Structure 1
Amino acid sequence: MENIRGMALMTLSMLAFAITDSWIKIASETLPTGEILMFMGMGGVAVFSVIAMRRGDKLLTKDILNRSILLRALGEMVGTFGMVSALALIPFSTTAAITQAIPLVITMWAALFLGETVGWPRWTAIGSGFVGVLLIIRPGVGSFDPNTIFAIIAVLGLSVRDLATRTAPRMITTPVLSIYGFSVLIPMGLGLWLYSGEGNAPDPREAAYLIGIVGMAALGYATITMAMRMGDVGVIAPLRYAKIVFAMIIGIVVFGEKLDTMTLIGTAIVIISGLFTVYREHRIRKLA
């Protein structure tokens, strides 16, 4: 029963994150990237501050200048900028497909910088996943869109954020880590907004989307946290890839996108590689 609940919560979380991304894309049609980032930062800080205070967490500690905390904040800033920019500039389903490579990149970073043992099966999966990404973006051919670099930036930044989370001081709770991460989006977003010289205060429709983005992201965060605390991680974690299914449906229905064969093949390779990596990591933990 715990596994079933965990699977349901993980699926709900992925749906929430897919909807969040779709609302970011819609908002980006009339709002500049910097403005969206700034309001995301403000909303994220507000939501997680309430959560942290209700838990009795200490918001400011000397560990705020810890190297892992600073690296995590940098990853959050770079990754979120890349994600919002990609959602604004390239097809929704393409962004979702490329960012499915994040778990593979995290495994690679862990092997290179944390000294974690990664055997040839997982290295093969990582390499295969990167081939899948190349099939999606197709550099050097006529259909290549240089704006896909923003999705790659998102993958690199968000994978650094998640890796730094592993090495962050244990006494700093997840809500407080989230506050630190979202807080750096505020000055960066404001700076980009002022530099662009575009945009005004959000109108009621735009404000509704911005509020919805923060609220839906908070729902995704809450449900994924609950899911990972239930049942068998090896059973629940693979459902992270449900997001690509939701994203492709949204891309087709909401944005009228058409998925070509190479994108579907590349996406399948990335997903299979990621699922194999999850399976191997789970098996290694059980044998340890």
Structure 2
Amino acid sequence: MTVSPNLRAILAMVAAMGLLVASDSCMKLGLAYAPLFQLMAIRGLVSVTLCLVLIVALGQAAQLPRMFNGWLAARGVLETVANIAFTSALAFVAIADVTAIAQTCPLLVLLGAWAFRGEKLGLARGLLILVGIAGALLVAQPGAGAASFYAMLAFLTPLAAAVRDLITPNAPKDVPPLVATLAVMVCLGAAGLIGMLAFNEPVTPVLPVWLLMGLAGAMSLAGHLLLYLAYRIGQARTVAPFMYSLTIWAVLSGLVLFGEIPNALAIAGMALISATGLAIIWLDGRQRREG
């Protein structure tokens, strides 16, 4: 039986979301043993090493200089900002809540496309974006306690990720996926190393740190690679709705690993964000059929 490209892309997207949540869960567990930037540096070392081994094994080493393309480097920097904000918030906020806030990214991409590319937004999309942002505020619950500051900090994640996605079409399309992924992994690892030297007092890594960061590095690499491939092999309007599987993975991780149960307002906010994203995708599909 032949599997369609869109179905393969959907499976890649769902798997990517699960792997990225698993990587972030390892980071959250690792914070009990070592500071944030040291964990990022160790995870970066693992992911960069694995990525280089795969690139050499596949005979793509000659393509390595292309990772220094300006657009790919910019994507790496933006991913680093998003990752640091996300991981910093994880130390104080439930993983499902932080993930739900991060899922306003597609809504911000639509706003950016309207503001900077002149793409039509329309009243319906504008209202849906406002509903999605309201949902994110329900999850963050500003003023509800000390953790609300870190929930608001998590909003840097979708902002940086939205800019990353808006500039992605400018990146060369013939760069091998692993090389494009390596650019992100190097930026993340370098930020961890710089931050560790500047802001952290490094500790001697114990065995759990090496095990957790080994898993985090491998899953981060696999997740970013599958995310890149999902949009390479499938149609964006078909694949994009399945990015919302991230919330399901995050809720499962929070329940199983951390015993975190979202409160009623947070659950309502997650539902609004997911429903808004799916409604926008459905609206796009209907307009294409009518067009």
Q: TM-score, normalised by structure 2?
A: 0.86
Answer with 139-148 or 202-211: which moved more: 139-148
Answer with 51-60 or 264-273: which moved more: 51-60
Alignment of 1:164-243 (within 5 A): 164-225=167-228, 227-228=230-231, 233-243=236-246
Q: Which position in structure 2 is the counterpart of 1:149?
A: 152
Partner secondary structure for residue 172 of structure 2: coil
Gaps of 5+ in 1: none
Q: Which position in structure 1 is the counterpart of 2:272?
A: 269
Q: Which of 44, 60, 63 is residue 41 of structure 1 equivalent to? A: 44
Cα pair distance change 1:204/1:144, threshold 3 Å: closer
CA contact (8 A) 2:185 2:221 kept: no
Cα pair distance change 1:118/1:44, threshold 3 Å: farther
Q: Deviations over 1:11-59 (max 9, x none)?
A: 3332222211211110122121111222233333233334444252611
Tell me which amino acid in the other structure corresponds to 1:27.
G
CA RMSD of aligned residues (A): 2.6
Partner secondary structure for residue 30 of structure 1: coil
1:17 and 2:20 correspond = yes
Alignment of 1:239-250 (within 5 A): 239-250=242-253
- Please state how far the C-alpha of 1:283 moved relative to its aligned partner: 4.3
- Please state how far the C-alpha of 1:265 moved relative to its aligned partner: 0.7
1:159 and 2:162 correspond = yes
Counterpart Cα distance in 2 of 1:223 and 1:170? 16
Counterpart Cα distance in 1 of 2:54 and 2:116? 32
Tell me which amino acid in the other structure corresponds to 2:65.
L
Q: Which position in structure 2 is the counterpart of 1:28?
A: 31
Q: Which position in structure 2 is the counterpart of 1:117?
A: 120
Tell me which amino acid in the other structure corresponds to 2:169.
R
Cα pair distance change 1:55/1:128, threshold 3 Å: farther
1:133 and 2:172 correspond = no
Identity %: 26
Tell me which amino acid in the other structure corresponds to 1:86.
A
Cα pair distance change 1:233/1:71, threshold 3 Å: closer
1:81 and 2:84 correspond = yes
Q: Which position in structure 1 is the counterpart of 2:65?
A: 60
Cα pair distance change 1:150/1:131, threshold 3 Å: same
Partner secondary structure for residue 59 of structure 1: helix
Tell me which amino acid in the other structure corresponds to 2:181.
S
Answer with 121-130 or 233-242: which moved more: 233-242
Answer with 241-250 or 277-286: which moved more: 277-286
CA contact (8 A) 1:48 1:179 kept: yes
Tell me which amino acid in the other structure corresponds to 1:64.
F
Tell me which amino acid in the other structure corresponds to 2:247.
I
Cα pair distance change 1:236/1:77, threshold 3 Å: closer
CA contact (8 A) 1:29 1:88 kept: no
Tell me which amino acid in the other structure corresponds to 2:166.
L
CA contact (8 A) 2:181 2:225 kept: no
Cα pair distance change 1:233/1:48, threshold 3 Å: same
